[in-house]
Structure 1
Amino acid sequence: MRISVIGCGYLGAVHAASMAKLGHDVVGIDVDPARVETLARGIAPFFEPGLSELLVEARDRLRFSVDMGAVRDADLHFIAVGTPQQPDSNAADLRYVEAAIDGLLPHLSAGDLVVGKSTVPVGTAARLAERVATTGARLAWNPEFLREGFAINDTLSPDRLVYGIAPGDVAAVTVLDEVYAGAIKAGTPRIVTDYATAELVKVAANAFLATKISFINAMAEIAEATGADVTQLADAIGHDPRIGRRFLNAGLGFGGGCLPKDIRGFMARAEELGVDQALSFLSEVDAINLRRRSRMVDLTRESVGGSLEGKNIAVFGLAFKPDSDDVRDSPALDVAMHLLDEGAHVVATDPKAIETARSKCPGLDYAPDAATAARDADAIVVVTEWAQYKTLDPHGLAPLVAARVIIDGRNCLDPAVWRAAGWHYRALGRP
């Protein structure tokens, strides 16, 4: 098929490359000339495992442009622009979605299909469909469910497909089935529904996930007050098939460009609809999540004698999660900055996110690797659970540090191993 993808940030670049991998002819459109030039050279402008290789592999069927007119040859158009949180409220900022539609409308033809993938407040698709219909084109909403670090696999082999369509628009279903023919043949569940339900699927899923994470972190607060072990607690309740163990890991909490802004945007939209009480619990979900960051600073302060002033603190991790260089609303970076604010000398490291963190927080000192960051440290703080941090050798690090103190913000280390090596080990929610 001939496909355009409007917006080549994280979602759009992955989607464009994946569509080309599936055999479609794809043009990606973005307003940033530098990003377009980088993508055209087969280089991912951010870290996502396998994306640069996929861009090169799909080069014969994939091109990028800053010219919206390049979409004229396509008859299927994906909207994949960002919907960040507004700077002065919790609501989603739809300027980029509106701009994408404004730019696309003059190039649409009767019979074209515009497909929204961006996460938008419920009610957005119905409003945009009226504008798209003035050209004779149609609108569908096909929410994305990408996990950073696994985005290519999540696009090529999704765990479900959701089509939000206008009543009776069988033709849109046929087109989308052709796009995702391989996944459908492999047995991927497909849900065909209305616009509003399709819009709600993504934010509802993120709200549920955020609630599950904050629930176990609330239990971590109880565990710390009682001497219980939240990791063993999670193991025990996770055996209940109604609960499950996945995403029941207590620690520093969630961050990134989706969960925090999506649950806040969901609350804002519920308030606009007059049903804000239905989502009032999400305020506490958000608050619990943010409290874990403060508690991590508290643990570090306690572990170095009650004051961070003048202490050398090594921070292992800057990205909000492993296998990503994304520092948007990163708990790890937030903790590093709070340690700095309390007078500590902070040396931070991360396998992939140093440059993205440096552009946002130039006041931190950065080290290329864990060994360099740990030198003369009064404490090591693990705040992103990269595989290389989970397998650190406590005996190898011991000669480098000023004090054998480690604070595990992700409950990803084995306390027995570290304590046996002579380290003072502390973790969120564990005795």
Structure 2
Amino acid sequence: MRMVVLGLGYLGATHAACMAELGHEVLGIEVVPEKRDQLARGEVPFYEPGLPDLLKRHIDSGKLTISDSYAQAVEFADVFFIAVGTPQKKGDYSADLQYVDAAVDELVPLLRRDALILGKSTVPVGTAQRLADKADELAKDVAVEIAWNPEFLREGFAVQDTLRPDRLVLGIFAGSRAEATVREIYEPIISVGAPFIVTDPQTAELVKTSANAFLATKISFINAIAEVCEAAGADVKAVADAIGYDARIGRRFLNAGLGFGGGCLPKDIRAFMARAGELGAAEALSFLREVDNVNMRRRTRIVELTRQVCGGALLGKRIAVLGAAFKPESDDVRDSPALNVAGQIQLQGASVTVYDPKAMDNSRKVFPTLDYAGSAIDACESADAVLVLTEWDEFVSLDARRLGSVVRSLNIIDGRNCLDRDAWETQGWNYRT
């Protein structure tokens, strides 16, 4: 099948390459020149394991073409995926839908044949209905269907999650013929057993936002328990392991530590709260405000721990921060807890040096005033405290003795509960978590 993907950021580039991998002919539309040129050369402008090879292969094969022309898009296909960003509005909790609206505004007036527009972007409930009304107004003697097919990608596993998803969700309006088309698109995935859930657009929109809200709640729950464990002298990791054996709870996303960040969970739970307020259901999601508060408190707590191990003050201290991406196997530093902590510590008078295996360039753009090193060892040179804030394998496997030979003081703060405490304490380190 021929199809168009509008927006080639993290979601769109992954979706376009994976649709080509399924055998479809794909035209990707990207309006940012630098990003478009990189993708056209088969280069991925962000770090995502497995995607560069997939993209390059299908650029070279001709299955995937990159353009900035909506006129070319409407000639190329009758199926369009919207995969543009929906960031948080500045000064507001709501989602900024300007890019979603712009895609529809630019595409629909150009259509000369009936078309299906499938939303992939994470949007507030009711967006599909609003866009359907907009499309009806803009369409010129053609039928334009809007349906919602939300993504459920994990950064670091996006290719796997697209080609082998744990479920596919499609939200369609009554009388829609979109289901048959979407089943054809995803036939190789459905045929090997992926659940295919067909519902109305409002439900499909809420499946995505509810999933993110639940994951955020689970992370903040174990971090709230961590606060109680710290006060009581208990081991939160042992608590998580024990309750994780309960099939009703499960162990995943019960890792206490610095909390969540990135471009999805923080802005999505805030947008969910904002939309609930607009619908007159603000009280139903009031608990998400505390989920957000617990998450932000973890960052402050790491700063407090750092001040404690440095003798009560950070002025003039040298601090090594290992990790800048919000999670391992990613170079995404949007709302990064690690960089937030590094910035807070610097503001209190410390000299902060950061190292991350993949996120250095993005970190420099966001926090140019921090110092950066080319390796973990270099970052820890003469450090008064070492903070592990992203659980990269490279940091988990650090040699405590080797690192101890370059620091000024043997203080390590495990912000992700990912290190072997005994191994570090055996080498004389003051281990805090």
TM-score by length of 2: 0.97
Structure 2 CA distance, aligned partners of 1:109 and 1:248? Answer: 51
Q: Percent identity?
A: 59
Task: Return the match for 1:117 from 107, 116, 120.
Answer: 120
- Structure 2 residue runs without a partner (length 5+): none
- Which of 268, 285, 289 matches 2:295? 289
> What residue is the counterpart of 1:425 in the other structure?
431
Displacement, 1:398?
Answer: 1.1
Equivalent pair of 1:294/1:335 in contact (CA under 8 Å): yes
Kept after mapping to 2: 8 A contact 1:115/1:140:
yes
Name the amino acid aligned to 1:101: V
Q: What residue is the counterpart of 2:403 in the other structure?
A: 397
User: How far apart are the structure 2 equivalents of 1:227 and 1:186?
Assistant: 48
1:267-416, aligned counterparts within 5 Å?
267-416=273-422
**Counterpart contact for 2:260–2:295, Cα < 8 Å:** yes
1:108 CA displacement: 2.2
1:66-120 superposed Cα distances (whole Å, 9 cap, x missing partner) = 1111212111100000000000210000100000101111232443111001111
Q: Distance in 1 between matches of 2:237 and 2:172?
A: 43
Once the two structures are overlaid, the 10-residue window that deviates more, 218-227 or 128-137, is 128-137
SS in 2 for 1:3: strand
- Listed one character per residue, the Cα deviations across residues 159-218 of structure 1 (whole Å, up to 9, x for unaligned) are 10000001132x211110111111100100010000100000110000000000000000
2:59 is the alignment partner of 1:56: no
The 1-side partners of 2:93 and 2:401 are apart by 46
> Which ranges of structure 1 fall in alignment gaps of 5 or more residues?
none
Q: 1:137: Cα distance to partner?
A: 1.7
Q: Which amino acid aligns with 1:198?
A: A
RMSD: 0.8
Q: CA deviation at 1:265?
A: 0.1
Structure 2: distance between partners of 1:261 and 1:148 = 16
Which residue of structure 2 aligns with residue 19 of structure 1? 19
1:106, 1:36 → 2: CA distance? 24
Secondary structure in structure 1 of the residue aligned to 2:231? helix
Structure 1 Cα separation of the partners of residues 110 and 2 of structure 2: 14
Amino acid of the residue matched to residue 232 of structure 2? Answer: T
Q: Is the 8 A contact 1:317 1:384 kept in 2?
A: yes
Match of 2:144 in 1: 137
Does residue 93 of structure 1 match 2:96?
yes
Question: Residue 340 of structure 1: CA displacement?
Answer: 0.4
AA partner of residue 221 (structure 1): E
Structure 2 residue aligned with 1:189: 195
User: Of 224, 236, 255, which residue of structure 1 is paired with 2:230?
Assistant: 224
1-side partners of 2:72 and 2:223: how far apart? 48
Equivalence for 1:67: 69
1:149 aligned residue (127, 145, 156) = 156
CA distance in 2, matches of 1:11, 1:318: 21
**Contact 2:325/2:333, CA 8 A, preserved across alignment:** yes
| Secondary structure of 2:198 counterpart | strand
CA–CA distance in structure 1, aligned partners of residues 7 and 226 of structure 2: 40
Which whole-Å CA distance do the structure 1 matches of 2:30 and 2:125 have between them? Answer: 25
Matched residue type, 1:69: A
Indicate if the aligned counterparts of 1:260 and 1:286 stay in contact, CA closer than 8 A. Answer: yes
Alignment length (residue pairs): 426
Q: Normalising to structure 1: TM-score of the pair?
A: 0.98
Distance in 1 between the 2:251 and 2:225 partners? 14
1:162-177 matched pairs, under 5 angstroms: 162-169=169-176, 171-177=177-183
Distance 1:38 1:235 in 2: 44
Q: Quick one: distance in 2 between partners of 1:69 and 1:153?
A: 32
Which residue type is aligned with residue 428 of structure 2?
Answer: G
- Letter paired with 2:202: A
How far apart are 1:50 and its partner, in Å? 1.5
Following TM superposition, by how much is the alpha carbon of 1:56 offset from its aligned partner in structure 2, in angstroms? 1.0
Question: How far off its partner does 1:305 sit?
Answer: 0.7
Structure 1 window deviating more from structure 2 (286-295 vs 58-67): it is 58-67
Aligned to 2:405, what secondary structure does the other structure show?
A: helix
Give the partner amino acid of 1:36: R
Q: Which residue of 2 aligns with 1:158?
A: 165
> Secondary structure at the residue paired with 1:380?
strand
Structure-1 separation of matches of 2:8 and 2:82: 10
